[in-house]
Amino acid sequence: MSFFPINKKDLAARGWDEVDIIFISGDAYIDHPSFGTALLARILEHSGFKVGIIAQPDWKHDDDFLALGRPRLFFGISSGNMDSMVNHYTAQRKRRNDDAYSPDAKSGLRPDRAVIIYTNIVRRLFKGSPVIIGGIEASLRRIAHYDYWQNKIRNSILADSKANLLIYGMAEKSILEVAKKLHEGFDISDLDNIPGTVCFTSKPTGVRLPDADKCSDKYTFWQMNKVFIAKHQTHTISQLNGGRFILHNPPSPALSSSEMDGIYALPFMRAPHPIYNGKRIPAWEQIKSSITSHRGCYGGCNFCAIAVHQGRKIQSRNPESIISEAKSMQGVISDVGGPSANMYMSYCKRCFPDTCSRRSCIYPEICSNLVLDYNVQISLLENISALPNIKHVFIASGIRHDIALNAKRYIALLAKKYTGGRLKLAPEHSSPNVLRLMGKPDISRFEAFSKEYFAEVKKAGLKRQIIPYLIIGHPGTSMEDARNLKNWLIHNHIKVEQIQEFTPTPMTISTCMYYTGLDFETGEPIHIPSPSEIRRQKEMILPKSNNKIRYKQN
């Protein structure tokens, strides 16, 4: 078991003349399944492919890109675990001073629009080598989309980067199929029907979206998003981008529990590469004592990119797989979870999306076809807690309070045992109209959960806090809404030290509303707060004099 080669010295040590696949990533190289590059590299290695990794290459010079030579099959390029523009800029478009995915949190180790920059360099240096782009930056830009940082509609990143193929979503099945096809001698231009991919095509196929250059018109852009959201799960879609048609295939099938188990059992080093010895990588520090139990989210929050990227289907590991990973750890497990920890092992009786057009399984009401069994998660947590090497187990990734309301035993255990002092919940706002535009439940559900949670805390004689995640400046939010939120916080004795400003990320429903000024559901005009108004909303709720970290609800 060893790290993947990062230079020709490593190739020589393995006795290799070349690699089959080279991954280029905007993140530091951490060999752990929480990092997409390492996960895909291990999957390909398991299938017999030789893989190398180039992490955070200096895009101002060619040397780093030449470190492993030319791959036999293809280059795989991503910005890393974060979109490079979100990584670099705040909601007010100000440059960030640090980067959680870089050694010592150093900023500036990846370029803006990293996928495009890296691809252009590779195509110049290695003419004729296939280039496949992926990761969240490519995934959220796979069709014509609104770019907040340039305040304009951009083409699909496949057209802008001139890569050969785009893989969206989590990519395991898609990239393995692509690698096998190329190994068998197929030309990359022939790979036009692989699920989870976007490719170029000579003519429109399936559902045709409005041409990208026409989507600057706001009503056209709204219409395009309505069609895409309704059809992309089950239909082939095409769109003219920069003079060429792109073909968007339906998503790759979800992984089964046994497939998930197999991935997490691969021989990850579960550590940063030794080249970072002595340097702290904040993203690694955050996850190194945690366990991923599942992926995906059916919450359907309009501002969230998780469903667009990971998908709505919950893909869960079996308890035995998670317990096996826990046995290799020591002391405290900081989190066992996913996007929402209490979605573990839940599923749809009707096999979404083939038989259902809902965008959310839990909004506006919880669907009767959603199967939730908290006993499975409770049993899992209890079995991990019983391991002799584990001192404490916590849930830190947050839960959906609306689907936990009727699970009294689960709430009691959260309060008494599995919350490390603070429980993360995301009411996001208190205004009914804003919550509707966000696709979030009424604030009364948060209040009901909090009441039940704190009742259990009081019975146990403990001290606990709820950390409420709040968003200001979402499309449709007025100063009156902000004032109502402030009054709600005061009434409920909740003091916060930070609030998230809405950031329009590509391909979300909320971003469509931000650009068009139209309610996504009705097409009616809505208020879009300006940057200065957003600052005023923030100052109203979070005065500058409020310096202390105080999240508390009585």
Strand partners, 428: 470
Q: What is the mean predicted confidence (pLDDT) over 203-228?
A: 97
State the average pLDDT for the chain: 95
Q: Cα angle at 505 between 499 and 506, to 5 degrees?
A: 170
The C-alpha atoms of residue 227 and residue 210 are separated, in whole angstroms, by: 10
What secondary structure does DSSP assign to 94-141, as a single string?
PBPS--TTSGGG-S-SS-TTHHHHHHHHHHHHSTT--EEE-HHHHHTT
Consecutive H or E run containing 349: none
Predicted confidence band of residue 553 (pLDDT cuts 50, 70, 90): very low
Quote the crossing angle between the two packed helices 479-491 and 531-541, to the nearest 10°. Answer: 20
Spell out the alpha helix ranges (H) of 328-424.
374-385, 401-404, 408-413
Task: Identify whether 351 is part of a domain.
Answer: no
Separation of alpha carbons 61 and 10, rounded Å: 21
DSSP state of 528: -
The answer to whether position 133 is within a domain reads: yes
Is residue 291 predicted with pLDDT exceeding 60? yes
For β-strands 30-31 and 271-272, DSSP reports them as antiparallel
SS3 of 405-435: the string is: CCCHHHHHHHHHHHCCCEEEEEEECCCHHHH
- Of 414, 425, 394, 424, which Cα lies nearest the Cα of 455? 414
CATH of the domain at 93: 3.40.50.280
Q: Are 237 and 209 in contact (CB under 8 A)?
A: yes
Q: What mean pLDDT do residues 422-442 have?
A: 96
Q: State both tokens at 500.
A: 């998230």
pLDDT of res. 374 = 95
pLDDT at residue 201 tops 60 = yes
Look at residue 489 and tell me if it is in a domain.
yes
Query: What is the residue range of 188's domain?
Result: 8-199+244-248
Contact at 8 Å (CB) between 324 and 265?
A: yes
State the total domains in the chain: 2
**Residue at 280 is within a domain:** no
Q: Are strands 271-272 and 390-393 parallel, antiparallel or unpaired?
A: unpaired
Q: How far from the centroid of its chain's Cα atoms is residue 402's Cα? A: 21
Helix, strand or coil, per DSSP, at residue 269: coil
Distance CA 305, CA 327 (A): 33
Output the 3-class SS for 3-45.
CCCCCHHHHHHHCCCCCCEEEEECCCCEECCCCHHHHHHHHHH
Distance CA 76, CA 70 (A): 12
Q: What is the pLDDT of residue 261?
A: 98
The residue-averaged pLDDT of 47-71 equals 98
Q: Is residue 13 part of a domain?
A: yes
Which of these ranges, 98-102, 316-320, 537-541, has the smallest mean pLDDT? 537-541
Give domain status of residue 301, yes or no. no
| pLDDT for 550 beyond 50 | no
pLDDT band at 544 (very low <50, low <70, confident <90, very high): low
Structure tokens at 407: 């699970």
Least confident interval from 62-66, 105-109, 314-318, 495-499: 495-499
Give residue 199's pLDDT band: very low, low, confident or very high (50, 70, 90). very high
The Cα 40–Cα 175 span in angstroms is: 8
Q: Fill in the DSSP letter of residue 338.
A: S
pLDDT reported for residue 545: 45
Q: Are strands 271-272 and 370-371 parallel, antiparallel or unpaired?
A: unpaired
pLDDT band of residue 406 (cuts 50, 70, 90) is confident
Taking the model in full, what pTM does it have?
A: 0.95
For residue 546, the model assigns a pLDDT of 45
- For residue 502, is it within any domain? yes
Average pLDDT of the residues in 193-219: 97
pLDDT at 218 over 90: yes
Residue 527 parent element (H or E): none
> Residues 163-180: what's their mean pLDDT?
97
What pLDDT does residue 350 have? Answer: 87
Query: In the prediction, which pLDDT does 552 show?
Result: 44
Secondary structure class of 245 (helix, strand, coil): strand
Does 411 map to a domain? no
Q: What is the CATH number of the domain that holds 491?
A: 3.30.750.200
Q: Which of 341, 547, 548, 543 is nearest to 424 (CA)?
A: 341
Rounded to the nearest 5 degrees, what angle is found at the Cα of 209, between the Cα atoms of 141 and 351? 75
Least confident range from 81-85, 226-230, 309-313: namely 309-313
pLDDT (mean) for 12-38: 98
Give the contacts of 351 (CB within 8 A, at least 6 positions apart).
none
Euclidean distance between CA atoms 404 and 382, whole angstroms: 18
Residue 356: the pLDDT is: 86
What is the reported pLDDT for 549?
33
Mean pLDDT of 417-445: 95
